[in-house]
Amino acid sequence: MSDDYSIGQSELRDAKSDLRGLVWTAAFFSVFVNILMLTGPLFMLQTYDRVLSTKSEPTLLALLAIVAFLFLIMGVLDWSRSRLLTRLGANFQDRLDKRVFQAMLKKSSTDHEVDENTGSGQQLRDLEAMRRFYGSPLFAALFDAPFAPIFLIGLSLFHPYIGMFAFAGGMILILTAVANQYVTKTSSVKSAVASYKSDRYCDQLQNEAETIRSLGMQSNAFAKWAEARKRALEQNVRASDLGGNFSVLSRVFRLFLQSATLGLGAWLVLQGEITPGVMIASSILLGRALAPVETVVNQWGAVQRTKRAWENLASLLSEIPEERSLIDLPRPGARLKVQQITVMPPKSTVSTLKKVSLEIEPGMAVGVIGPSGSGKSTLARAITGLWPLAGGKITLDGAPLHQYDPETLAQYIGYLPQRVTLFDGTVAENIARLAQSFDSARVVAAARKAAAHEMILGLPQGYNTPVHTIGTQLSGGQIQRIALARALFGDPVFLVLDEPNSNLDNEGSMALNEAVVAMKEAGGAVLIMAHRPAAIKECDYLLVLENGLVKAWGPREKIMSEMLSNVRVIRKTVATSAGGGLA
């Protein structure tokens, strides 16, 4: 493993070390639970060797009373240990929930390729798997396993032959567990990956159900999903068969060992070397000694799942370090300076922006235009801090972006992405960026700036309308205006709009222009990535990008006239060439 991977391992171990008190308490209870496990064998020993030989009913009743009390204590301790381990898992998850959630979002915002092991929320499911493991009987069995050698030594005290036979049987079971690990590891991983791909494809089809039905793609979509499902099913059956083989082998062999130990004990009784009570107690004690090993073998799939979850989480936390707490800087002015920045999309070696520079002052609106793939959206992601810089620097009111806390920076730079999404919750909660408590006046003010107030009042419950009940009833333009209100919420000093009028009608475009004017008059600044001319109507300057390079930068009228002049020259040249060809 690399040093980077070990950073995540260390962070996970630190989370576990915070729960050391619960672990030690569970271990303390385990000591007495396993000691009290001797109650059954000792009762059998006393019943056969004392009660049956003396035919004493009072002795039997006394033994029963003692055994009942000891089993009650064992039950209470085992119940307490189970509750402790459940809370250990819950506390481990609670300790890492926020850290993993933030790391997952940061990774997802920069990675466009979904990893087979860690994509689409898999990291949170990995954390959930860790929680279930810590609260499972399997984890409790690991506390009991260290007592197996003690029980085997006890069997040797009964008789050396019994001890050696039990030790040999125990070693065979342990070797079965080791073989289970190596044989099923590859199959288990393939099964998990195949199931994940199938589930991910199903989610994608469900999200695009309207498109699939409207284009008559249901049969084709099912056939493609069924193919992925079949591969997943085959891998699952193969992994289950392999794991089941070892589970059956370990269970049958343990039962055989108990019966064989009973047979060996009977032979020793016939030889006069042990008593019948020792014969019965030996069989019961052997079953208790080997029970944890059998549990581990039978649930080895859960062990492998937990191991993969640990590795995935360690990899994520290593790749996305914990964000340092930063000093809160004062509210900045709308002065944005982009200095010779070069940006490469995550996991790419090709720059989509190269040596781009521009400077925006308060009250300015800048339009960014250029063909598709020229780097407009890359510039938007760089300015909002979503994508790191490969070179150069971006400052807001003199401070580099990395000196602002990400959530604080998002309050100062409002962002309307090209692909707009509304989340489960009310319309007001979406505008307030999912805040649990918010100032209603600020929500309404943001909606008014986006010219969405009247539209929202027309919804069934106004601002309190749940989005999931109207999501399919809203037009793209309505969704975009609500998202614009969300970008304007909290009075940002800078606004980044990526293709803001792609779904807007004429009324929506006019409302967008009014919002840009209001932002400029309030001393803010706006950066608009656009294809349509209507989006740059209120822009003072234009930045023209082509293949990630600045092709032109200056006042809007100047740039537009130069571009029109170039178009006329090109048309004239083409016309002349065509005329010459005809001649």
Residue 419 CB neighbours (<10 A): 9
3 state SS for 161-219: HHHHHHHHHHHHHHHHHHHHHHHHHHHHHHHHHHHHHHHHHHHHHHHCHHHHHHCCCHH
Contact 147, 205 (CB under 8 A): no
Question: Which H or E run includes 415?
Answer: strand 413-416
As a whole number of angstroms, the distance between CA 322 and CA 503 comes to 38
The CA distance from 568 to 179, in Å, is 77
Q: How confident is the model at residue 2 (pLDDT cuts 50, 70, 90)?
A: very low
Angstrom CA distances, 364 to 323, 493, 518, 522, 538, stand at 32, 11, 11, 11, 9
| Rounded-to-integer distance, Cα 504 and Cα 494, Å | 22
Does 212 score more than 50 pLDDT?
yes
What torsion do the CA atoms of 395, 399, 400, 405 make, to the nearest 10 degrees? Answer: -120
Q: Which amino acid is at 566?
A: N
Question: pLDDT by residue (tens digit) across 527-578?
Answer: 998 876 667 888 889 999 988 899 989 998 888 887 776 655 555 554 555 5
Complete DSSP assignment for 530-542: -SSGGGGTT-SEE
- CATH topology for 336-422+482-580 is Rossmann fold (3.40.50)
User: Which residues are within 8 A (CB) of 484 and not within 5 positions of it... i.e. 6 or more apart?
Assistant: 416, 450, 452, 497, 500, 512, 515
353: β partners: 343
**110 contacts 297 by C-beta, under 8 angstroms:** no
For β-strands 525-529 and 399-400, DSSP reports them as: unpaired
Minimum mean pLDDT among 78-87, 97-106, 289-298, 442-451: which range? 289-298
State how far Cα 214 lies from the chain centre.
33
pLDDT digits (tens, 9 = 90+) for 306-317: 888 888 888 888
Model pTM greater than 0.75?
Answer: no
Residue type, 216: G
Question: What local confidence, expressed as pLDDT, does residue 469 receive?
Answer: 56
More confident residue, 549 or 322: 549
Torsion angle defined by CA atoms of residues 386, 388, 392 and 396, in that order, rounded to the nearest 10 degrees: 30
CA distance 568 to 552: 18
What is the full DSSP assignment across 326-382? -PPPPPPPS-EEEEEEEE--TT-SS-SEEEEEEEE-TT-EEEEE-STTSSHHHHHHH
Provide the pLDDT for residue 582.
38
Tell me the backbone φ, ψ of residue 345, rounded to 5 degrees: -55, 145
How many helices (H) and strands (E) are present in the chain, helices listed first?
Answer: 22, 10
Per-residue pLDDT at 175: 83
User: What gap in Å lies between CA 557 and CA 255, rounded to an integer?
Assistant: 89
- Distance between CA atoms of residues 117 and 5, nearest Å: 15
Return the pLDDT at 395: 92
Contact 492, 413 (CB under 8 A): yes
The predicted structure's pLDDT at residue 572: 56
Q: How far is CA 305 from CA 16, 143, 179, 314, 386, in A?
A: 18, 19, 17, 14, 32
Rounded to 5 degrees, what angle do the CA atoms 537, 541, 546 make? 100
Q: pLDDT tens digits for 249-273?
A: 877 887 888 888 888 888 988 888 8
Topology, domain 146-298: ABC transporter transmembrane region fold (1.20.1560)
Give the 3-state secondary structure of residue 552.
strand
**What confidence tier does 228 reach under pLDDT thresholds 50, 70, 90?**
confident
What's the rounded Cα separation, in Å, for the pair 162 and 264?
Answer: 7
**Nearest-angstrom CA–CA distance, 365 and 529:** 11
Span 91-101, mean pLDDT? 88
Going from N- to C-terminal start, the domains of the chain cover 1-136, 146-298, 336-422+482-580
What Cα–Cα distance (Å) separates residue 75 from each residue in 37, 82, 130? 10, 10, 26
Round the average pLDDT of the chain to a whole number and report it: 83
Q: Tell me which of 336-345, 359-368, 421-430, 529-538 is least confident.
A: 529-538
Q: Is the dihedral of CA 434, 439, 444, 448 positive or negative?
A: negative
The yes-or-no answer to whether 146-298 and 336-422+482-580 have a common fold is no
Token couple for 450: 């986006």
